Amino acid sequence: MQIKVKPAENLKQKPQDESKLGFGRLFTDHMLTVQYKAGIGWHNAEIRPYENFSLSPAALVFHYSQTIFEGLKAYRTPDGIKLFRPWDNFKRMNVSARRLCIPEIDEKFALDALVQLLRIEQDWVPHSEGTSLYIRPTIIATDPYLGVKAGEEYIFYIILSPVGAYYASGLEPVDIYVEDEYVRSVVGGMGFAKTGGNYAASLIAGELAHKMGYSQVLWLDGKERKYVEEVGSMNIFFKIRGELFTAPLEGTILAGITRDSVIRLAKEVFGVNVREERLAIADIFEEHEKGGLEEVFGTGTAAVISPVGGMKWEDKVIRINGGKMGELTRQLYDKLTGIQYGREEDIFGWTMTI
């Protein structure tokens, strides 16, 4: 498929102060859009000025949440602009697409289109340490129809947003609230898909946690509310007596690309045993009592690695590693960001330069 390019007439001012970028509020001059219609397939690929869509108020996506998204970043490095495992994002987008009855995209076309968009927008990739250009591929069902059914018309689009560090507090450890009432997903549900509905379901717990002074919610399994699953938009790891534990991929959590990268780095670079196993929250708190809980951290593209300094579950509050970032957390963070920003050798072939 050929991509038509319609350049923007007026370019926006690039942000002057990169320390104030924040996350996801500014967008670049152009976006990619591709349309889908049953019987025709994906067609009409365009790189065009970033602007509002005009959609029917009846569009399926507004009513029944038939939408999926992805999140990845472009990094400015000494050897040019790099992407980190972008092929895995488009592969996962198709996993989500199948779950939500959305037509699959051609992964190779999507990556080529992204590279073409990034070449046009490359001046938007910020320069300062820790900053990047966040990439948000999305698909929405646009049919103007109030019946519940899978759409026959879709838009696949990619927008770009220059971002600073994800958390206002930088790499400072965060406190998380273990949610024991609401659940995020269950086996057979769509917890493994990157879709708006999962986030809509999570908002109420997030709001309550914020009110109590916690920045994130740790979800327990949807059936017994016993085993740890993931945190907001991150997977979670626990270092207990020298070993790393993280929830297994059983359909209820997102298969994070950062999660997978951390598992490989921990095993193959740092020689740490990694156990993808169910882990009960009660056992974690008990290990803390006995001095066995060494480090806790979340992983995800937006935040990379986020140390957890404290956790509240029921009426128990614990401090982890004295509320400070752990040593393995720091090593994994340095190695992973080192590869992403081109400071470290890309031993696993994870990056591509555009």
Ligand X SMILES: *Cc1c(COP(=O)(O)O)cnc(C)c1O
Q: Which residues bind ligand X (CB under 6 A)?
A: 71, 194, 230, 233-235, 254, 256-259, 299-301
Whole-angstrom distance, CA of residue 251 vs CA of residue 79: 38
Between 118 and 302, whose beta carbon lies closer to ligand X?
302
Q: Which residues contact 308 (CB under 8 A, 6 or more apart)?
A: 173, 174, 175, 176, 236, 296, 297, 298, 320
Shortest Cβ 281–ligand X spacing (Å): 18
Between 7 and 338, whose beta carbon lies closer to ligand X?
338
Between 152 and 346, whose beta carbon lies closer to ligand X?
346
The DSSP-derived string for 64-97 is: H--EEE--EEEEEETTEEEEESHHHHHHHHHHHH
CB 79 within 8 A of CB 346: no
Between 70 and 294, whose beta carbon lies closer to ligand X?
70
Q: Which residues contact 244 (CB under 8 A, 6 or more apart)?
A: 237, 238, 263, 266, 272, 273, 274, 275, 328
**Of 241, 240, 234, 244, residue with least CA distance to 275:** 244
Residue that the structure tokens 């020689």 belong to: 271
Whole-angstrom distance, CA of residue 82 vs CA of residue 74: 6
Q: Which residues contact 101 (CB under 8 A, 6 or more apart)?
A: 66, 150
Shortest Cβ 301–ligand X spacing (Å): 3
Shortest Cβ 299–ligand X spacing (Å): 6
Between 34 and 217, whose beta carbon lies closer to ligand X?
217
Burial class (CB in 10 A: 0-12, 13-18, 19+), 170: exposed
Shortest Cβ 211–ligand X spacing (Å): 22
Shortest Cβ 45–ligand X spacing (Å): 25
Between 191 and 342, whose beta carbon lies closer to ligand X?
191
Q: How many residues does the chain have?
A: 354
Between 42 and 69, whose beta carbon lies closer to ligand X?
69
Between 132 and 258, whose beta carbon lies closer to ligand X?
258
Q: Which residues contact 256 (CB under 8 A, 6 or more apart)?
A: 230, 234, 235, 299, 300, 301
What count of Cα atoms within 13 Å lies in the side-chain half-sphere of residue 175? 14
- Amino acid making up residue 176: I
Shortest Cβ 234–ligand X spacing (Å): 5
Shortest Cβ 254–ligand X spacing (Å): 4
DSSP assignment letter at 144: B
Shortest Cβ 189–ligand X spacing (Å): 12
Inter-axis angle of helices 86-99 and 257-268, to 10 degrees?
Answer: 130
Between 71 and 189, whose beta carbon lies closer to ligand X?
71
Shortest Cβ 85–ligand X spacing (Å): 8
